[in-house]
Structure 1
């Protein structure tokens, strides 16, 4: 990651971290998920330009990136703050799960900047998505992507 990208990534991570510490109870069960939003976004961007990822998978990755940055989505950050990243994280996990079922997992791990194991994290997000964002929204996301 070049310096400019690193600066943006660190700035985003710090903003999310500050928001979580000020706005959410420290025991909020979704805080850890919100805190990984910058790491997930970074991963999507890196994978979308990786030569080892097929163009078909890149289209899905770009769709997840577009969903992440769109001000209009199922839980808009502009209205609810960073808790609105929960649906973005669910979309990303859904698309990343599809990707890791067809590519070597080392490709995904190579670009992961987070602390947890990304493959375990994706499985955990998928398993908890209906509780995290609600079953109706989760089903809608799965039908969209």
Structure 2
């Protein structure tokens, strides 16, 4: 499966869920709808020649985590809310990249709605509530090492 196919499938799955009764009741639906655009951004940045190799390796790990059905909050068991860990990890990784490389490089790949920097900072602000503080510490700890 190519990254574009995964992006399209994830987008369709989350939009369909957002229209369901469960999706309409979820306090996280608006956040989860951002995940496909964050995934697209991660993939585009991983391919950008201006992004240093050390950052590309981290981006690759986040992409693999999102694609993997086996993670800390498995979608197969939890449904679309199982993507909350993927969402918080993606936001955290992008935030670290924003603090390390020219923001213009990152922003030129952003295809989502709204201000990317505001979006990721808000996700990080509510990450403890989204996934629980213990899980959030584990996820963010994956990227604290240089």
Tell me: CA distance 1:23–1:57, structure 2 relative to 1, closer, same or farther (3 Å): farther
Partners in 2 of 1:71 and 1:9 — Cα distance?
A: 15
Residue 98 (structure 1) aligns with: 96
Could you give the per-residue CA deviations for residues 60-85 of structure 1, whole angstroms, max 9, x where no partner exists?
10010011011111101111111111
Partners in 2 of 1:12 and 1:74 — Cα distance?
A: 18
Q: Structure 2-normalised TM-score?
A: 0.89
Please, which runs of 5 or more residues in structure 1 have no aligned partner? none
Q: Contact 1:53/1:103 (CA < 8 Å) preserved in 2?
A: yes
Residue 20 (structure 1) aligns with: 18
Q: Contact 2:3/2:43 (CA < 8 Å) preserved in 1?
A: no
Residue 83 (structure 1) aligns with: 81
Q: Structure 1-normalised TM-score?
A: 0.89
Matched residue count: 142
Q: CA RMSD in A?
A: 1.8
Please, which runs of 5 or more residues in structure 2 have no aligned partner? none
Matches within 5 A, 1:17-96: 17-26=15-24, 28-96=26-94
Matched residue SS, 1:87: helix
